[in-house]
Each structure stands twice: as C-alpha cells, then as structure tokens.
C-alpha cells in the first residue's frame, strides 16, 4: 500500500524521503491544537459555542489537544471532551481584574471587547511558552484559534506559529440599522464609533495576513476584513445546536392557540418590546400566547408594557432558565419570534430552527443567510413603527394559517439538521483544515451539504 501511494506522488530525485513521509502522515492523520480561552459547557453564549465547537472537532480528527482557561476545568471535566487531552492555562491574574473593570464600567459587549484584547495576549503568550517547542517540532498539522469570536481581537500566535493556522469562526462589525440609533446609545456601545481602531493594535496585521484559513461568520463580517485575505476566507457561522437536545420528538399541540416564543437576553437591541406591542395592537394575536424566556435590564419596562396593555392573560415571562428548560419550551411552542435588530450570531435562532419552530426574523445581518423564504417569514427592517407592523402581520399570518406555521417549522428543522448541527459544522471545519493543508483543492462551502 505504502509503495503504491509513493509511486503515484509527483516526486523527483530532489525530494527527500523525510518530505514524502511528512506528506503521507498528513494524508492519513489530522493532529490539531485547539485554542479556546472561552470554553465552558455550563455557560451560555461564547463559552458554550467554544466548548461545543471544540468537542465536535475532536470527534472528527485523529488527535486533538484543547487549550483553555483554568476557570473552565471543573465544568469540562464534568462534561468531558470526547477523550481529548485538555490543557488548562492559569491567566486569572490578568483576566479577573479585567473582568472587574468591565463590570464596574458597565461596558456593553462591543466596548468590553477592547479589554479582552489584553487578556487574549496573555493567554496566547502563555500558550506559546507551553507549546512553542511542539509547534517547532511539527507535532501538530493545524493550530486552530476557536475563540474569541470577535473579529477585532488580534491573534499574536499568527506571528509566532510555524504551523498552519486557522482562526474562527470570527464575527463582528454588524452596524446598527440607521433608524435605531437610540437603541445603540441605550446599549452604551460608545466604542463602536472607533471600532476600526483595532487595526492599529499590535499583531492586528498578522491576524489576517498569516492564517492559512479564516472562518468568518456572515457577509457583514467578511466585508470588514482586509481585502487581501478574502481568498482565504470561508463564510461559516459560529453558531450550532445539538439535535439530541433540540430536535427530539415534538410535543406541541396544533389544535389550540399558537404559542409564539421569544428567547434571549432582555436588552434593548433584542427588541422584545416589538413582539409585545404587536400583540397589544392585534385582536387576533390576543387569542394566542407570547412566552418570553430570558432576563435582563429591560424586563421591568417590558412587564410594564404588558400591564399597560392588559396583556397578562396572553403574555408570560419565564425569566432566565438553563438550556435544557429552554429546549423544553421550544418543543411546546409553534413559532419563534425574534425582533432583534443586531444579532450577530443568533444562536437562539439555530436552536429554534432545530426544534421545528417557524422563524420570524428581520431580513438583516445573519438571518439573511441563515434563513430562507422556504423556512421563515423575514421582515423588512424600517423604523420602530414599521418593525411592529411587520411582526404583527407575520404573526397574524401564522396564527390564521397553522398549516403554514407547521410547514415552515419542518423546513427550518431540516435546514438546521443539514447545516447547523455541531457535527455538520465540524465536518466543514475539517474540510477547511484539508484545504489549508492542500489536501483539498476546492474551497469548502458551508451552505451546501456536499462532502
């Protein structure tokens, strides 16, 4: 077998036997070093995405070492990492003070990113001290920085590592819609006005000039990346969902009122008030139910809006709950109503799709690619009044046509199974590794189901 393979290689007498052996090893094995500062199965958002991404990749490659923060040790050891070696770095000496500063200043997500630049440098510096000799010796075929997700956080390792580097999926740069400037100010995202300044940071240039492959989520992120890296970019969202948790046998009842579900943080840009206002203006919707799962600073104002419009009988607040409980509510609901105007990743939407809910979302940002007209109702984004009217009409359409609601949900579920399961995503990521190593000539396309 070995002789026949060597015989087919385009080698000359100048090719050393060591190079041939190296090529054969890469064809038959895939050894990956995964970096995920944020990687925790018991948290939500980015840490959960980091954990699920790493674990699913581990199951697709021959050997993987996952490197993360020591704060994640207990949770990872309880959940496991599919048998992979996990190395824990202790950079709490810098991470904890930075976290306290962020909380004290009440920084929003984008503004807090500026402080994460500091913690990421120390994490990658300590990783390089630990694994630099291994990388120089060729222990790994690929180094993959899975988190942080923000596209504005430089990667110092890009300048140091001799091993082919993959970063991402990164996400960021989605602007606030022009007619929602008041929401931006309410969110406190004042650093958005100088976001492009990240390019002046140390290692910023190498972050996108050196990697072999850049996984970038959605068109809005890719548009903000340096143009000279676009030939190495694969459009791939960072979000996914577990079919074992969100695509089980459905228990929803189609014989009574429909349940419209909102799940997410109750913060200004999620616009849960739009769904409530739509219910307040519709006699049809008042005959159905709106369930709001999540918590946050906007909850008192939302509860007041419900009281003022006498919606207590049809609008219910469930508060924050673990992911397993969110999954249970998704199983019992019929449609997922998500008026968010600036949801960069939209993990809740993928979970809702996997659960078979009919999606109602804005035709903006990630939803332009995640959703299709075959599986959702997409709302053209205007000002707030148009936003409310758009959701009112879409929800009334589903309420008066349950068959349509059911059909959209079934199509959304299949799309999620095909594209957004963690396993499906990991297979695409492995294809990206193969492309980086020259084992695959065609750039992988996330939005197709080809092998």
What's the longest Cα–Cα distance across the chain? 84
Determine phi and psi for 441, rounding to 5 degrees: -90, -30
Cis before 47? omega within 30: no
**pLDDT digits over 428-445, tens only?**
999 999 999 999 999 999
Find the mean pLDDT for residues 146-165.
Answer: 95
Q: pLDDT band for position 69 (50/70/90)?
A: very high
pTM over 0.85: yes
Task: Please tell me the distance from the alpha carbon of residue 80 to that of residue 41, in angstroms, as a whole number.
Answer: 9
Q: Measured between alpha carbons, how far is residue 260 from residues 250, 387, 408 in Å?
A: 16, 17, 14
Q: pLDDT band for position 94 (50/70/90)?
A: confident
Task: Please tell me the distance from the alpha carbon of residue 389 to that of residue 189, in angstroms, as a whole number.
Answer: 27
Cis before 169? omega within 30: yes
**Predicted pLDDT of residue 184:** 58
**Predicted pLDDT of residue 104:** 67
* Nearest in space to 163 (alpha carbons), one of 182, 179, 142, 187: 142
**Predicted pLDDT of residue 176:** 78
Among the residue ranges 14-28, 96-110, 258-272, 402-416, the one predicted with the least confidence is 14-28
Highest mean pLDDT of the ranges 219-223, 286-290, 444-448: 286-290
- Tell whether the model's pLDDT for residue 358 goes beyond 60: yes
* Nearest in space to 361 (alpha carbons), one of 212, 261, 240, 432: 261
**pLDDT digits over 96-144, tens only?**
887 777 666 665 555 555 667 888 999 999 999 999 999 999 999 999 9
Contact 215, 429 (CB under 8 A): yes
**Predicted pLDDT of residue 196:** 59
* Nearest in space to 216 (alpha carbons), one of 165, 176, 167: 167
**Predicted pLDDT of residue 14:** 30
**Residue 198 CA, distance from chain mean position:** 21
Percent share of the chain, pLDDT over 90: 73
HEC-encoded secondary structure of the chain: CHHHHHHHCCCCCCCCHHHHHHHHHHHHCCEEEEEECCCCCCCCHHHHHHHHHHHHHHCCCCEEEEEEEHHHHHHHHHHCCCCCEEEEECCHHHHHHHHHHHHHHCCCHHHHHHHHHHHHHHHHHHHHHHHHHHHHCCCCCEEEEEECCECCCCCCHHHHCCCCEEEEEEECCCCCCHHHHHHHHHHCCHHHHHHHHHHHCCCHHHHHHCCCEEEECHHHHHHHCCHHHHHHEEECCCCCECHHHHCCCCCCCCCCCCEEEEECCCCHHHCHHHHHHHHHCCCCHHHCEEEEECCCCCHHHHHHHHHHCCCCCCEEEEECCCHHHHHHHHHHCCEEEECCCCCCCCHHHHHHHHCCCEEEEECCCCHHHHCCCCCCEEECCCCHHHHHHHHHHHHHHHHHCHHHHHHHHHHHHHHHHHHCEHHHHHHHHHHHHHHHCCCCCCCCCCCCCCC
Find the mean pLDDT for residues 24-31.
Answer: 63
Q: Parallel, antiparallel, or unpaired: how do β-strands 31-36 and 377-379 relate?
A: unpaired
Which two tokens mark 376?
Answer: 């959702």
Determine phi and psi for 3, rounding to 5 degrees: -65, -40
**Predicted pLDDT of residue 188:** 56
**Predicted pLDDT of residue 11:** 34
Structural domains present in the chain: 29-240+421-436 (3.40.50.2000), 243-419 (3.40.50.2000)
**pLDDT digits over 230-239, tens only?**
999 999 999 9
Contact 325, 287 (CB under 8 A): no
User: How many residues comprise the chain?
Assistant: 451
């Amino acid at each position: 077998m070995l002789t026949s393979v060597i015989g087919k290689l385009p080698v000359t007498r100048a090719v050393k036997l060591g190079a041939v052996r190296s090529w054969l090893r890469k064809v038959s094995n895939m050894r990956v070093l995964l970096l995920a500062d944020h990687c925790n199965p018991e948290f939500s958002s980015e840490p959960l995405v980091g954990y699920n991404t790493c674990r699913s990749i581990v199951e697709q490659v021959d050997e993987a070492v996952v490197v993360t923060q020591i704060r994640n040790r207990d949770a990872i050891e309880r959940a496991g990492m599919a048998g992979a070696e996990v190395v824990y770095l202790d950079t709490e000496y810098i991470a904890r003070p930075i976290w306290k500063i962020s909380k004290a200043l009440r920084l929003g997500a984008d503004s807090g990113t500026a402080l994460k630049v500091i913690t990421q440098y120390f994490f990658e510096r300590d990783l390089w001290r630990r694994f630099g000799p291994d990388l120089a010796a060729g222990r790994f075929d690929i180094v993959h920085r899975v988190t942080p997700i923000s596209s504005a956080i430089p990667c110092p390792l890009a300048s140091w590592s001799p091993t082919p580097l993959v970063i991402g999926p990164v996400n960021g740069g989605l602007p606030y819609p022009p007619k929602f400037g008041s929401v931006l100010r309410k969110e406190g995202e004042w650093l958005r006005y100088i976001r492009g300044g990240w390019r002046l940071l140390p290692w910023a240039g190498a972050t996108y000039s050196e990697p072999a492959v850049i996984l970038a989520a959605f068109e809005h992120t890719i548009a903000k990346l340096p143009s000279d890296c676009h030939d190495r970019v694969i459009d791939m969202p960072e979000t996914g969902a577990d079919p074992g948790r969100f695509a089980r046998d459905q228990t929803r009842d189609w014989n009574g009122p429909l349940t419209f579900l909102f799940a997410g943080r109750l913060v200004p840009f999620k616009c849960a008030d739009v769904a409530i206002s739509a219910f307040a203006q519709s006699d049809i919707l008042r005959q159905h139910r709106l369930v709001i799962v999540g918590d946050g600073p906007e909850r008192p104002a939302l509860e007041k809006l419900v009281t003022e419009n006498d919606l207590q009988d049809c609008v219910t607040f469930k508060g924050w709950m673990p992911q397993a409980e969110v999954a249970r509510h998704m199983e019992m609901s019929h449609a997922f109503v998500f008026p968010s105007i600036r949801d960069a990743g939209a993990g809740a939407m993928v979970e809702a799709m996997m659960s078979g809910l009919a999606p109602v979302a804005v035709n903006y940002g990630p939803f332009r690619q995640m959703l299709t007209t075959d599986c959702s109702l997409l709302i053209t984004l205007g000002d707030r009044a148009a936003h409310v009217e758009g959701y009112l009409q879409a929800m009334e359409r589903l309420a008066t046509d349950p068959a349509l609601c059911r059909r959209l949900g079934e199509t959304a579920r299949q799309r999620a199974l095909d594209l957004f399961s963690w396993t499906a995503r990991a297979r695409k990521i492995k294809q990206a590794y193969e492309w980086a190593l020259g084992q695959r000539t065609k750039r992988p396309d996330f939005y197709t189901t080809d092998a």
